[in-house]
């Protein structure tokens, strides 16, 4: 069992590092090939923090662990809001000024409702996975079009996302890191899922629970690091944008992988418990961010409430084990 824990930690570390290198190489190469910085910033860079979830969900689905794949996507969204945003707001209250984020937050709620409907029959089909993936393409295209028309340079989140695009990187170096990321991402995900399954069996945890807890927390580490770095640099919109964008990507790009790769029945708790928690967390995020008192910010008290809710949720899940 000790070996499984060691492999799990190494898998997480490899996943986060290789995802960072993959995004760095892909973004630098795209820019060198003439892709506008705005598009690179809103796609490659913005999607980067969800790369670990995508690899883990794909690996889990290939191993016939659909509940783990779904639990990873749903659990990551819960973790992003309750844990990542909670810790970030405790460090420093977050101001919300980006019009892009204000548009995306209701979208997160809408697609969360759609995911609840999809899982309400306790089955994730190929067509449902494809439908979500089509929604992702529509979202990306729409985001780019709206940002181009709305003078993106005036939007703090878009401007900060574009600043994250690597500049003056030689093409050979970009390709090198892109290849390294492509190789190590699936390898890290494979060993991570395998060790997580071993740990789950040892402690009597279900495939869903291991996805909602250990794996979801581990794959949310990039969002935590990015959000903390954002507030330390006074880039509140980027910090919040990492969370909001990641949650959109998790539902529209990560979740579909489970249905497309391995359509199957899923644990009924997903629809009756976990997605409802995800919906509640999303509503809390919207209420805290878009309050009607004139000051749009998430304060430390609200951050503490989010963190407390996360601990309570984790405690409840483990109390149901066995």
Q: What percent of the chain has pLDDT over 70?
A: 86
pLDDT for 129 equals 95
Average pLDDT rounded to a whole number, residues 16-36 = 82
- What is the average per-residue pLDDT within 144-154? 64
The answer to whether 187 touches 47, Cβ cutoff 8 Å, is no
Enumerate the domain spans of the chain.
2-319
Would the pLDDT of 39 be above 90? no
What is the CATH topology of the domain spanning 2-319?
A: A middle domain of Talin 1 (1.20.1420)
pLDDT single digits (tens) 159-216: 666 666 777 888 899 899 989 988 888 888 888 888 888 888 888 888 899 899 988 9
CA distance 124 to 296: 37
Cβ-based neighbour number of residue 172 at 10 Å: 7
pLDDT tens per residue across span 66-78: 999 999 999 999 9
- CA–CA separation, 62 and 55 (whole Å): 11
Classify residue 34 as exposed, middle or buried by CB count within 10 Å of its CB (0-12, 13-18, 19+).
Answer: exposed
Task: Render pLDDT for 213-228 as a digit per residue (tens, 0 to 9).
Answer: 988 988 888 778 878 8
**Residue 251: how many other CB atoms lie within 10 Å:** 28
Q: How far apart are CA 93 and CA 105, in angstroms?
A: 18
pLDDT of 127 over the 90 cut: yes
Higher pLDDT, 139 or 1: 139
And the tokens for 263? 């359509």
Q: At residue 56, does pLDDT exceed 80?
A: yes
Pair 12, 218: CB distance under 8 Å? yes
The pLDDT, as a whole number, for residue 53 is 86
Helices (H) and strands (E) in the chain, counts: 18, 4
DSSP secondary structure code for residue 94 in this structure: E
pTM of the prediction? 0.86
Judged against a pLDDT cut of 90, whether residue 124 lies above it is answered with yes
């Amino acid at each position: 069992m000790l070996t499984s824990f060691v492999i799990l930690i190494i898998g997480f570390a490899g996943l986060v590092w290789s995802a960072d290198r993959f995004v760095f190489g892909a973004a630098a190469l795209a820019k060198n090939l003439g892709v506008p910085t705005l598009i690179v910033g809103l796609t490659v860079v913005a999607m980067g923090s969800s790369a670990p979830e995508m690899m883990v969900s794909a690996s889990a689905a290939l191993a016939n662990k659909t509940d783990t794949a779904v639990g990873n996507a749903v659990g990551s969204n819960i973790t992003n809001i309750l844990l990542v945003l909670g810790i970030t707001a405790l460090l420093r209250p977050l101001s919300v000024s980006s019009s892009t984020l204000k548009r995306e937050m209701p979208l997160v709620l809408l697609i969360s409702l759609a995911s609840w409907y999809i899982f309400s029959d306790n089955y994730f089909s190929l067509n449902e996975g494809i439908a979500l993936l089509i929604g992702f393409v529509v979202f990306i295209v729409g985001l780019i079009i709206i940002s181009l028309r709305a003078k993106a340079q005036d939007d703090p989140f878009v401007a900060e996302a574009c600043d994250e695009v690597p500049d003056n990187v030689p093409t050979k170096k970009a390709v090198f890191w892109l290849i390294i990321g492509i190789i190590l991402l699936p390898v890290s995900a494979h060993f991570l899922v395998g060790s997580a399954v071993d740990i789950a069996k040892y402690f009597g945890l279900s495939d869903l629970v291991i996805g909602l807890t250990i794996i979801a927390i581990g794959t949310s580490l990039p969002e935590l690091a990015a959000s903390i770095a954002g507030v330390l640099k006074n880039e509140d919109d980027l910090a919040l944008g990492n969370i909001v964008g990641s949650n959109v990507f998790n539902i529209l790009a990560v979740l579909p992988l489970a249905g497309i790769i391995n359509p199957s029945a899923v644990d009924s708790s997903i629809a009756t418990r976990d997605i409802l928690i995800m919906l509640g967390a999303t509503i809390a995020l919207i209420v805290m961010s878009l309050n009607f008192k004139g000051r749009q910010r998430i304060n430390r008290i609200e951050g503490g409430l989010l963190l407390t809710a996360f601990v309570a949720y984790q405690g409840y899940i483990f109390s149901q084990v066995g």
